[in-house]
Structure 1
Amino acid sequence: MRFQAAKVSFLRYLKGTDLSKAYLLAFAAVIPITLANYYNNLSVGIAMAIGVLLCAPSDVPGNLRHRFFGMLFAAFFGVFATLCIGYTKPFVWVNLPLFFLLTFFISYFSVYGFRASLISLAGLLAMVLSFANLGTLSVWLHATLIGCGSLWYILISTLFLKIRPQKHLEIQLGETAEKTAEFLRIRGKMLTAKHHRNELQRAQFSLQTSINELHENIREALLSNRQQSGSSNSSRRQLLIFIDLVDILELSIAHPVNFKRLDKLAEENRALILKYKSLIYEMSIQLQEIAEVFLDGEKLKKSNTVSNLIEEIEAYIQQFEEKINETEARETLILLQNLLDFEKKQGQKIQSIQRVLSNIKKREEFNLKTSEVKQFLTPTDYSFKILLENFSLKAPMFRHALRLAVLMLIGVLIGMFFKLQNSYWILLTLVVIMRPSYGLTKERSKKRILGTFLGGIIAVILIFLISNPVVYAVLGILSMILAFSMIQKNYVGAAAFITLNVVFIYALLQPNALAVIQYRIIDTFIGAGLAVIGSFLLWPSWEHNEMNAVISKTIQANMDYLKAIDNYYHTKGNLPSAYKLKRKEAFLAMGNLSAAFQRMTQEPKSKQKEYKNFYRYTALNHTFLSSLASLGNFIRNHNTTEASVYFETYISNIIYNLSKTIENLSEEKTQKELKHINFEQAEAFIIDEEKKLIQLKTKELKEGKEKISEALRTNMQEIQLISEQLRWLYEVSLNLKNIKK
Structure 2
Amino acid sequence: MNYSSELKKFLTSQYIYSGARIALAIVIPSIILAQFGLLKEYFLFPLGTSFVGLTDQQGPFIRRRNTLILSIFSFFLIALLASLVKEFPIAVYLEIIIFGFFFSMIGVYGLRLATFGSIALVVLSIFIDGHLTGEDILKSTFIFFLGCVWFFVIFMIVSKLQPYKLASQVVGENYLELADYLRIKAKYYTKNPDFNELLNQLITQQIKIKNHQEDTREIVFKTRQIVNESTTQSRILMLMFLNSFDLFDKLLTSENDYKRMTQVFGDTTLFHKIHDYLLAMADEITNLGISLQSGLTFRQITNFDNELKKIYDDFFDHRSQRFSSETLEDFMMMRQVLMRITEITDEVKTIMTVHSQDKKLAKSLSSGLDYSKFLPKEEKMNLKVLFSNFSLNSGHFRHAIRVTIALLIGYIVSRFEILGIGHSYWILITIIAILKPAYSTTKHRNLLRLFGTIAGGVIAYIILYFVKDPGAILVILLLSMILCFSLLKSKYFWAVLFMTIYIFLSFNFLRPGNVNVIFKDRILDTLIGGAVTFLVAYFILPVWEHTQNLDLMKKSSKSNLDYFRLIMDHFMKKELHDQDFRISRKNAIIDLANLSDNFQRMISDPKNQQRKLETVHQFVTTTHLITAYTASLSQYAKSGHEFPEIDFQNWKIKISAELLRTSSLLFQQDLDEQTRTESHIKPEDQVFDLLEKRKAELENQAISNERTFTVSHLTEIKNIRELLALIYDVAKDQRKIIEEYRIYQSTTAKQ
TM-score (norm 2): 0.88
The 1:671/1:224 distance shift into structure 2, 3 A limit, reads: farther
Alignment correspondent of 1:576: 578
Identity fraction in percent = 23
* Aligned-pair CA distance for 1:638: 4.4
* Aligned-pair CA distance for 1:201: 0.8
The 1:714/1:239 distance shift into structure 2, 3 A limit, reads: farther
8 Å CA contact 1:75–1:122 kept in 2: the answer is no
Q: Distance in 2 between matches of 1:303 and 1:707?
A: 29
Alignment correspondent of 1:309: 308
One-letter identity of the residue aligned with 1:237: I
* Aligned-pair CA distance for 1:346: 0.3
Q: Distance in 2 between matches of 1:516 and 1:116?
A: 32
The DSSP-based 3-state class of the residue aligned with 1:382 is coil
Q: Deviations over 1:696-721 (max 9, x none)?
A: 89889999996999999653234212
1:93 aligns with 2:90: yes
Between stretches 181-190 and 381-390, larger displacement belongs to 381-390
Q: Deviations over 1:670-727 (max 9, x none)?
A: 54332574677644x21x3542576589889999996999999653234212221111
Q: Distance in 2 between matches of 1:473 and 1:676?
A: 72
Structure 1 residues 36-75: aligned runs within 5 Å: 45-75=42-72
The 1:429/1:321 distance shift into structure 2, 3 A limit, reads: same
One-letter identity of the residue aligned with 1:420: I
Between stretches 674-683 and 483-492, larger displacement belongs to 674-683
1:200 aligns with 2:198: yes
One-letter identity of the residue aligned with 1:722: I
Alignment correspondent of 1:363: 361
Q: Deviations over 1:409-455 (max 9, x none)?
A: 10100011235112210011111122222222222222222222122
Structure 1 residues 456-605: aligned runs within 5 Å: 456-466=457-467, 475-510=476-511, 511-571=513-573, 575-605=577-607
Between stretches 430-439 and 401-410, larger displacement belongs to 430-439
Structure 1 residues 255-654: aligned runs within 5 Å: 255-266=254-265, 270-295=268-293, 297=296, 299-310=298-309, 312-313=311-312, 316-317=315-316, 320=319, 326=325, 329-358=327-356, 360-368=358-366, 372-384=370-382, 385-418=384-417, 419-466=420-467, 475-510=476-511, 511-571=513-573, 575-641=577-643, 646-654=647-655
Residue of structure 2 aligned with 1:106, choices 99, 103, 107: 103
8 Å CA contact 2:410–2:428 kept in 1: the answer is yes
Structure 1 residues 4-15: aligned runs within 5 Å: 5=3, 8-10=5-7, 12-15=9-12
* Aligned-pair CA distance for 1:515: 0.9
* Aligned-pair CA distance for 1:506: 2.5
* Aligned-pair CA distance for 1:66: 1.5
Unaligned runs of 5+ in 2: 742-751
Q: Distance in 1 between matches of 2:315 and 2:16?
A: 51
The DSSP-based 3-state class of the residue aligned with 1:136 is coil
The 1:678/1:719 distance shift into structure 2, 3 A limit, reads: farther
* Aligned-pair CA distance for 1:373: 1.4
* Aligned-pair CA distance for 1:504: 2.7
Between stretches 164-173 and 705-714, larger displacement belongs to 705-714
Unaligned runs of 5+ in 1: none
* Aligned-pair CA distance for 1:470: 6.7
The DSSP-based 3-state class of the residue aligned with 1:68 is helix
One-letter identity of the residue aligned with 2:569: N
1:222 aligns with 2:217: no
Q: Distance in 2 between matches of 1:716 and 1:643?
A: 10
8 Å CA contact 1:697–1:708 kept in 2: the answer is no
Q: Deviations over 1:537-579 (max 9, x none)?
A: 2222211111111121112221221122123223377752111
* Aligned-pair CA distance for 1:580: 0.7
Q: Deviations over 1:485-538 (max 9, x none)?
A: 332233233222322322233323334332111111111111122222322222
The 1:11/1:185 distance shift into structure 2, 3 A limit, reads: closer
* Aligned-pair CA distance for 1:22: 3.0
The 1:45/1:329 distance shift into structure 2, 3 A limit, reads: same
The DSSP-based 3-state class of the residue aligned with 1:674 is helix
* Aligned-pair CA distance for 1:295: 4.8
8 Å CA contact 1:300–1:358 kept in 2: the answer is no
One-letter identity of the residue aligned with 1:435: K
One-letter identity of the residue aligned with 2:650: T
TM-score (norm 1): 0.89
* Aligned-pair CA distance for 1:357: 3.0
One-letter identity of the residue aligned with 1:558: N
Q: Distance in 2 between matches of 1:546 and 1:435?
A: 16
Q: Distance in 1 between matches of 2:202 and 2:288?
A: 21
Structure 1 residues 135-284: aligned runs within 5 Å: 135-136=133-134, 138-139=136-137, 142-192=140-190, 194=192, 196-226=194-224, 229-266=228-265, 270-284=268-282
8 Å CA contact 1:693–1:712 kept in 2: the answer is no
8 Å CA contact 2:232–2:363 kept in 1: the answer is no
The DSSP-based 3-state class of the residue aligned with 2:200 is helix
Q: Distance in 2 between matches of 1:634 and 1:229?
A: 34
Matched residues, number: 732
8 Å CA contact 1:397–1:436 kept in 2: the answer is yes
One-letter identity of the residue aligned with 2:729: E
8 Å CA contact 1:256–1:338 kept in 2: the answer is no
Q: Distance in 1 between matches of 2:289 and 2:121?
A: 38
* Aligned-pair CA distance for 1:351: 1.0
Between stretches 377-386 and 134-143, larger displacement belongs to 134-143
Q: Distance in 2 between matches of 1:382 and 1:679?
A: 42
* Aligned-pair CA distance for 1:349: 0.8
Q: Distance in 2 between matches of 1:406 and 1:698?
A: 77
* Aligned-pair CA distance for 1:388: 3.3
Alignment correspondent of 2:669: 669
The 1:239/1:675 distance shift into structure 2, 3 A limit, reads: closer
Q: Deviations over 1:346-404 (max 9, x none)?
A: 00011112222335345354534686111122231224343234322232222222111
Alignment correspondent of 2:748: none
Calculate the aligned-residue CA RMSD, in Å: 3.4
8 Å CA contact 1:240–1:366 kept in 2: the answer is no
Between stretches 65-74 and 144-153, larger displacement belongs to 144-153
One-letter identity of the residue aligned with 1:223: F
One-letter identity of the residue aligned with 1:352: T
Q: Distance in 2 between matches of 1:401 and 1:640?
A: 57
8 Å CA contact 1:222–1:235 kept in 2: the answer is no
The 1:469/1:283 distance shift into structure 2, 3 A limit, reads: closer
The 1:46/1:201 distance shift into structure 2, 3 A limit, reads: same
Q: Deviations over 1:636-660 (max 9, x none)?
A: 124123697x423222332333333
Q: Distance in 1 between matches of 2:42 and 2:329?
A: 75
Q: Distance in 2 between matches of 1:207 and 1:89?
A: 48
Q: Distance in 1 between matches of 2:643 and 2:689?
A: 16
